[in-house]
């Protein structure tokens, strides 16, 4: 009898605990998310996947309580007008945009329409294109999000740490809006006392507007790689759509005898041809953006969702650094590991002979 009473008391206690602390459940209701990518490839692919994964971890499950509609504009800004003609009257819980071109386009279509809430990600200069005023202030309208680039000054310091004798840096970019913003930042940085001994030799190729435009732009860049190779100590990848995709680092590695400092991580860790990188954390960026989208789902005012910048990390291919006679400071190699990035050793078969 006493044993039975104890069992009953235990069951009642468990019931009270369940009522007081209910098990986590999926958010109530159905949620709709519109996604507009500047292009299908990197960095947008990784950022988008991590954003959706973050929502899934919070209980917003695609096919269950979350419906997603997805567009990619192939870096054709005018496509955003056609998209918005279709989607304007559909009151999505949030609109997620990746990249500068798509963000510029959607700003022209819906900036200030407060019934539509936008989270951007992987945008180079959201202040310069006018969707926010600053990263330490509430959004001024209906756009917030996470910016992409590592600061120019940090990239230049990184290069000087790895190559103390560097004097001339080669950079090939495209005539995209984000490239223009980045070049202005670079010009300003080079006037600072710590960088006055550096010179950047810049070349620009035409912007090819299509999903595969980055391939053609890398082909156009090859002649500049050959031209600059004998004039510079190192190549620094630009901060635009050409440089973050696989064809460009492959082109530099094929035609140059100098190392490439990439703008992203995969150019190094996936052995696309870059030697090293100080890169924005694309996975972390997507997770931060996912948190912002979730907050909009939870009806948090967009004015309280402060724009942010991405974290950054290091990546090195130590066989390539050896090929280029670079002595990487041990602390930087250790820091790369702490950021969860493998410090890779390229297969010797993949290293072409020094030219």
- Whether the ω angle into residue 43 lies within 30 degrees of 0, i.e. cis, is yes
pLDDT tens digits, one per residue of 164-194 = 999 999 999 999 888 888 999 999 999 999 9
* Residue 86 confidence (pLDDT): 97
pLDDT category, 351, cuts 50, 70, 90?
very low
What distance in Å separates the CA atoms of residue 200 and residue 198, rounded to the nearest whole number?
A: 7
In the predicted structure, residue 17 carries a pLDDT above the cut 70: no
Superfamily of domain 152-280+312-350: Response regulator (3.40.50.2300)
The architecture in CATH of the region 31-149+282-309 reads 3-Layer(aba) Sandwich (3.40)
pLDDT tens digits, one per residue of 274-326 = 999 999 888 999 999 999 999 999 999 999 999 999 888 899 998 899 999 99
pLDDT tens digits, one per residue of 107-128 = 999 999 999 999 999 998 899 8
* Residue 41 confidence (pLDDT): 85
Average pLDDT across the chain, whole number: 88
* Residue 12 confidence (pLDDT): 43
* Residue 136 confidence (pLDDT): 82
More confident residue, 144 or 91: 144
* Residue 117 confidence (pLDDT): 98
In the predicted structure, residue 131 carries a pLDDT above the cut 90: yes
In the predicted structure, residue 149 carries a pLDDT above the cut 50: yes
Range(s) for CATH 3.40.50.2300 in the chain?
Answer: 31-149+282-309, 152-280+312-350
* Residue 338 confidence (pLDDT): 60
Burial class (CB in 10 A: 0-12, 13-18, 19+), 5: exposed
* Residue 339 confidence (pLDDT): 55
In the predicted structure, residue 8 carries a pLDDT above the cut 80: no
Q: From residue 9, how far is each of 2, 165, 325 by CA, in Å? A: 11, 76, 73
Torsion region of 274: left, alpha or beta (phi above 0 gives left; psi -120 to 50 gives alpha): beta
Question: Which of 50, 61, 63 lies closest to 24 in space, CA to CA?
Answer: 61
* Residue 345 confidence (pLDDT): 53
Question: Which of 347, 185, 326 lies closest to 258 in space, CA to CA?
Answer: 326
Query: Model's pTM, two decimal places?
Result: 0.73
pLDDT tens digits, one per residue of 215-259 = 999 999 999 999 999 999 999 999 888 998 999 999 999 999 999
More confident residue, 16 or 235: 235
For residue 344, the 8-state DSSP code is B
């Amino acid at each position: 009898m006493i044993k039975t009473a104890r069992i009953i008391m235990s069951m009642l206690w468990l019931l009270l605990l369940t009522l007081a602390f209910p098990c986590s459940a999926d958010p109530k209701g159905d949620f709709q998310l519109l996604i507009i990518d500047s292009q299908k490839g990197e960095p947008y692919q990784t950022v988008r996947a991590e954003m959706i994964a973050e929502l899934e971890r919070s209980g917003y499950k695609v096919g269950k309580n979350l419906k997603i509609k997805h567009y990619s504009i192939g870096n054709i800004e005018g496509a955003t007008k056609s998209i918005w003609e279709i989607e304007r009257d559909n009151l999505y819980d949030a609109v997620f945009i990746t990249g500068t071109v798509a963000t510029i386009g959607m700003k022209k279509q819906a900036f200030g329409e407060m019934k539509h809430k936008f989270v951007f990600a992987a945008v180079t200069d959201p202040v310069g294109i006018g969707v926010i005023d600053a990263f330490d202030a509430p959004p001024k309208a209906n756009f917030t999000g996470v910016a992409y680039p590592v600061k120019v000054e940090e990239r230049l310091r990184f290069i000087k740490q790895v190559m103390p004798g560097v004097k001339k840096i080669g950079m090939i970019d495209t005539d995209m809006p984000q490239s223009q913003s980045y070049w202005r930042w670079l010009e300003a940085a080079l006037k600072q006392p710590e960088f006055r001994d550096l010179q950047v030799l810049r070349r620009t190729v035409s912007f090819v507007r299509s999903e595969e435009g980055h391939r053609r732009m890398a082909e156009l860049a090859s002649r500049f790689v050959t031209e600059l190779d004998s004039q510079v100590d190192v190549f620094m990848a630009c901060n635009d759509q050409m440089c973050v995709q696989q064809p460009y680092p492959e082109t530099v590695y094929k035609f140059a005898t100098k190392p490439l400092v990439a703008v992203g991580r995969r150019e190094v860790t996936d052995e696309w041809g870059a030697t090293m990188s100080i890169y924005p954390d694309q996975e972390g960026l997507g997770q931060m953006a996912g948190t912002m989208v979730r907050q909009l789902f939870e009806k948090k005012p967009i004015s309280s969702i402060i724009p942010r910048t991405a974290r950054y990390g290091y990546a090195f291919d130590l066989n390539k650094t050896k090929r280029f006679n670079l002595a990487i400071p041990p602390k930087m190699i250790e820091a790369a590991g702490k950021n969860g990035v493998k410090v890779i050793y390229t297969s010797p078969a993949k290293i072409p002979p020094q030219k």
